[in-house]
């Protein structure tokens, strides 16, 4: 059974940083790309970033390019999202989602339960 467990969310001041983590189990982690998708309160889904199974390719939405960095540690079955220079509009639940394929990102077939990031002074 595929399981994705996010952590690292919390309350942070504007301009601050957080490191989100997603621990995966139930599949061969290194064979699949991984995505981060966020959802602001009461709003729709927004794809944020993706990384290939090997970690050699990374992809970003224009809205976060230069501020967010995705990475993965295949020895620990974990994908990370470093979020810097946070703004109020980054407030959202951040979901980790497994991709169907290894590279590039195509679509998410399993999702975690999300971790809430709140940016406020």
Residues that bind another protein (CB under 8 A): 35, 37, 44-47, 50, 59-63, 95, 100, 104-114
CB nearer to another protein: give 29 or 47.
47
CB nearer to another protein: give 14 or 65.
65
- Least Å distance, CB 14 to another protein, is 24
> How many angstroms separate the CA atoms of 109 and 100, rounded?
6
CB neighbourhood size of 14 (10 A): 12
What are the distances in angstroms from CA 48 to CA 18, 60, 83? 15, 6, 11
- Least Å distance, CB 89 to another protein, is 15
- Least Å distance, CB 99 to another protein, is 9
- Least Å distance, CB 61 to another protein, is 6
First and final CA of the chain: distance in angstroms?
Answer: 40
CB nearer to another protein: give 13 or 106.
106
CB neighbourhood size of 68 (10 A): 21
DSSP assignment of 38-76: EE-TTS-EEEEEEE-TTS--EEE-TTTTTTEEEEEETTT
CB nearer to another protein: give 16 or 63.
63
């Amino acid at each position: 059974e595929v399981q994705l467990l996010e952590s690292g969310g919390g309350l942070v001041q504007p301009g601050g940083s957080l490191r989100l983590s997603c621990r995966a189990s139930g599949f061969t982690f290194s064979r699949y790309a991984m995505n981060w998708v966020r959802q602001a309160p009461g709003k729709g889904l927004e794809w944020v970033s993706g990384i290939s199974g090997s970690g050699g390719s990374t992809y970003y939405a224009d809205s976060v390019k230069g501020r967010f960095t995705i990475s993965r540690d295949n020895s620990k079955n974990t994908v990370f999202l470093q979020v810097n220079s946070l703004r109020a509009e980054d407030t959202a639940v951040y979901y980790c989602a497994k991709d169907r394929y290894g590279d590039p990102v195509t679509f998410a077939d399993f999702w975690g339960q999300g971790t809430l990031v709140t940016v406020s002074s």
